[in-house]
Amino acid sequence: ETGVTQSPTHLIKTRGQQVTLRCSSQSGHNTVSWYQQALGQGPQFIFQYYREEENGRGNFPPRFSGLQFPNYSSELNVNALELDDSALYLCASSRDLQETNEKLFFGSGTQLSVL
Amino acid sequence: QKEVEQDPGPLSVPEGAIVSLNCTYSNSAFQYFMWYRQYSRKGPELLMYTYSSGNKEDGRFTAQVDKSSKYISLFIRDSQPSDSATYLCAMAGGFKTIFGAGTRLFVKA
């Protein structure tokens, strides 16, 4: 069983640029959630995708957007990067919506630095 | 007021000690309660989850939920240096999981 994989592992961008982060969910999982984790903080919910549709969104501006593909892999796009976007971006998958309440399986994250 | 409050620590204990980690929450809609462990430069991994008040035990770990007080705890018995990590409490209801800030734990050999 393949776990959740994220790419790239590290990324350096400058303010104003755009970035795309990628996530392959665990085999058999159809739900993907994205989280932002600033240094010393817990993960903050960005949004969730279930069967290619956005199923909920946290308190993040519209410049944070996402996609989920038919194979349930997912992308997180961030436009007009700001310095405060520097963080670890985590992708988590779950077998279905109900298991999202109980068990999230996380990737190792993408460390984004905005200069 | 944050939905989930967790003391960030750090908490330093000798090997073999009993560790108590705690969180409080404000949203009565939370129905599921989890503890995740996060090692440095890794994603969180699920330790335990429960959806009812009371205790749940798994090896050296015991999760305790008191819904009336909106308070959850994780106890680690016979702590080991390999338990050194950040422990995140998490709560869910409506398919969105909210995390605490995490408590950094150091277990000294």
Contact call for residues B37 and B47 (beta carbons, < 8 A): yes
Residue contact B96–A58, C-beta within 8 A: yes
Contacting residues of B for A40, CB less than 8 Å apart: 8, 101-102
CA dihedral sign of residues B1, B27, B100, A20: negative
Residues of B with a Cβ under 8 Å from any A Cβ are 4, 6, 8, 31-32, 34, 36, 41-46, 49, 51, 88, 92-102
Question: Could you list the mean pLDDT of each consecutive 10-residue stretch along chain A, which spans 115 residues?
Answer: 89 98 94 95 95 93 96 96 98 87 92 98
Give the model confidence (pLDDT) of B8-42 as tens digits.
889 999 999 999 999 999 998 899 999 999 999 89
Give the model confidence (pLDDT) of B49-105 as tens digits.
998 889 999 999 999 999 999 999 999 999 999 999 999 999 998 778 999 999 999
Residue contact A106–B95, C-beta within 8 A: no
Predicted local confidence at residue A42, as pLDDT: 95
Between these two residues, B46 and B2, which has the higher pLDDT value?
A: B46
Between CA B23 and CA B67 the distance in angstroms is: 12
